[in-house]
Structure 1
Amino acid sequence: MEYRKALRELREGRIKPYYVCYGTESYLIDDFIERLIAALMEPEHREMGLVRFSTSENPLDEIVDEAETPPFLVPSKLVVVRDSVVFASGRDSAKVEHRPERLQGYMSGPLDSTVLLFVVPHEKLDERKKLVKYAKDKDAVVSFAPMAAEELSQWAIRRAEGQKRRMEQGAVDELLRRVGSEMGAIAAEIDKLCLHAGEGGTVTAEAVATLVSASTEQSVFKLTEEIAALRTDRALALYYDLLKQREEPIKLTALLVRQFRNMLLVKELRKQGFTPQQMAGQLGLHPYAAKITAEQARGFSLERLAAVLERLAELDYEMKTGRVEKTLGLELFLLRTGSEGGG
């Protein structure tokens, strides 16, 4: 089941006795849990009605015992279990013994007053396991995959609208360039920008540029973009800003290697007919990051990307062996790469 369907059922009051929530978008999982808590209990009942476990520390017998115990002094109870071994293919801890048949027995006749929710922070569940098949048959498995680039953009606009502000598309684009695709960070920045705009106000790209600091990873994204566009002066300005923030040139070089390697892989995958969403899955990137990487890759030929990666490997070796002064070495790389263009 996709998470939007699970939210719709929640709004309609159709709450399942157990859920298996999996995926890498932790913000959406946390949001679903908060909505579930609000639907199940009053704020004053939260302390008594919410219980947390982890399968890395607690055996399934202990977790099921809690689920089978009626709630005390509150009408309902939510048991949240963080898991990487029961529903996923993580390694079992030698200290914790799990009996999956005990959990399946509970799932066949769950307590009406308890909701049991497993949080599995993995891209996939282990489809070979009986518990996974059983939960899927009961439509209790909920997927929380990262949003596509367009979805993420629309979500940001809706969040601002929910606070009675309008967010320009340019502001959204600038925010994502600066913050990246982590939804928790985006939400926090939107809330700050909305506070600055005031009720009924507009969040502009200028406000984002003034109020939101770019992360190191996003600055490297921008750095690569400026190189691809042959804007060497802007690339150097970004580099100097990163140095003022005490960023280590060797770390920046490693991030550049990762970005140029992804650009090379994206270019190869595009030749094979992959869509941006499929590229994201292949490379382990967020769909928005894959989209930006594909746009940057257009400015380079395959041969040029291979040559840049080779030069970065040489630079990394020279930095670590002391053959070149680190700050100067990376500055010369930016000057040379920008002057040669994308080939």
Structure 2
Amino acid sequence: MEVKQAFRHIKQGSISPIYICYGTEAYIMNEFIERLLEQLVEPEHREMAIVRFDTGETPIDSIIEEAETLPFLVPSKIVLVRDSVLFASGKESSRVEHRPERLLTYIGQPSETTVLVFIVPHEKLDERKKLVKTAKSSDFVISFTPLQSEELLQWLLKRVGSQGRSIDKQTAEELLRRIGTDMNALAAEVDKLCLHAGAGGTVSSESVVALVPMATEQNVFKLTEELAALRTAEVLNLYYDLLKQREEPIKLMALLVRQFRNMLYVKELSSQGYSPQQMASQLGLHPYAVKITGEQARKFSPERLAALLSELADLDFAMKTGRIDKALGLELFLMKTGSAGAS
């Protein structure tokens, strides 16, 4: 089942008896579960109507027994089960024994007064398992994957609009550049900016710059952009600001290495015809991060990126062996790289 379709069904009151929610986008998954709770459970009944389990601690037999037990003093209940054993791919690490056939039987005849929700915080399910195949054939499985870059931008614009404020696309993109793709962090910053703008107000780029601190990783994104543009003064200002925030030079260097390496990977995969979504999956990056990395990679040749990675490897050795002061070593690298450019 598609995520949008699942949200639409909930809004229409069409609730499935079982959901297997998996994926790495925890924010949307939590939002889905919250919408489910709002539809099924009155606020004053939540304590009686919500039961939580973890398959790492509770056998599936006990969970199914709870699901089959009639709700007490409420018309229906929700059983939320965190799972990394029954549906997830990879090695099972449960401290308890499970009988998957018990759940298979329940899937065939679920309780009418219980909604059973499995929360699987993994990128993939184990497609070899009969449980997964059966759940998919029953249309109980929902994949919560990171939003594409344009979808993330539209979500941000919509969240601002839902609070009676406005924001232009350029300002929204600046907010994404400063925060990154963490939807929980984005939601918090959007709410703060909307409060600052006031009812009917506009979230301005000036307020974003003034009120939203740039995350360390986003500062490193910015560093690479400024390096490619030969804006050495801006590069050094960013670096000095990070040092004032007591960021460790070795950590900053590691982030630079990762970014240059990702740029090299994106150039290579792009030349092989990979789509942004395929690259995101291959590299373990958010689609928006792939978009930004791709834009930066176009300014560097593969040979230049390989040379920079080699220089950073030498610098790492020199810093860790005490041959050069850490802060000074990275500063000299940034100055040299900014002067030489991306060619």
Task: Calculate the TM-score normalised by the size of structure 1.
Answer: 0.98
Check the 8 A contact 2:55/2:94 in 1, yes or no.
no
Matches within 5 A, 1:90-109: 90-93=90-93, 95-109=95-109
Shift of 1:91: 2.6
Shift of 1:304: 0.2
Change (3 A) 1:91 1:76: same
Report what 2:254 is aligned to.
254
Matches of 1:317 and 1:99, distance apart in 2: 52
1:114 paired to 2:114: yes
- Name the Cα RMSD after superposition: 0.9
Matches of 1:84 and 1:229, distance apart in 2: 45
Aligned residue identity for 1:311: E
Aligned residue identity for 1:300: F
Matches of 1:262 and 1:2, distance apart in 2: 30
Name the SS of the counterpart of 2:93 in structure 1. coil
Matches within 5 A, 1:53-68: 53-68=53-68
Q: Name stretches of at least 5 consecutive residues in structure 2 with no aligned partner.
A: none
Matches of 2:55 and 2:317, distance apart in 1: 43
Matches of 1:65 and 1:278, distance apart in 2: 41
1:230 paired to 2:220: no
Report what 1:174 is aligned to.
174
Aligned residue identity for 1:138: S
Shift of 1:231: 1.2
Matches within 5 A, 1:1-343: 1-93=1-93, 95-343=95-343
Name the SS of the counterpart of 1:280 in structure 2. helix
Shift of 1:217: 1.0
Matches of 2:164 and 2:63, distance apart in 1: 43
Check the 8 A contact 2:157/2:167 in 1, yes or no.
yes
Matches of 2:120 and 2:93, distance apart in 1: 16
Post-superposition Cα deviations, 1:85-115, rounded to whole Å, max 9, x if no partner, equal: 1111233235211110011111111111100
Name the SS of the counterpart of 2:81 in structure 1. strand
Task: Calculate the TM-score normalised by the size of structure 2.
Answer: 0.98
Matches of 2:249 and 2:74, distance apart in 1: 56
Check the 8 A contact 1:167/1:203 in 2, yes or no.
yes
Aligned residue identity for 2:286: H
Matches of 1:229 and 1:201, distance apart in 2: 35
Check the 8 A contact 1:170/1:204 in 2, yes or no.
no
- Count of aligned pairs between the two proteins: 343
Matches of 1:92 and 1:143, distance apart in 2: 21
Return 59-68 or 131-140, whichever deviates more: 59-68
Matches of 2:59 and 2:72, distance apart in 1: 22
Change (3 A) 1:56 1:72: same
Q: Name stretches of at least 5 consecutive residues in structure 1 with no aligned partner.
A: none
Aligned residue identity for 1:209: V
Shift of 1:31: 0.0
Identity across the alignment (%): 65
Post-superposition Cα deviations, 1:23-46, rounded to whole Å, max 9, x if no partner, equal: 110000000000000000100011
Name the SS of the counterpart of 1:116 in structure 2. strand
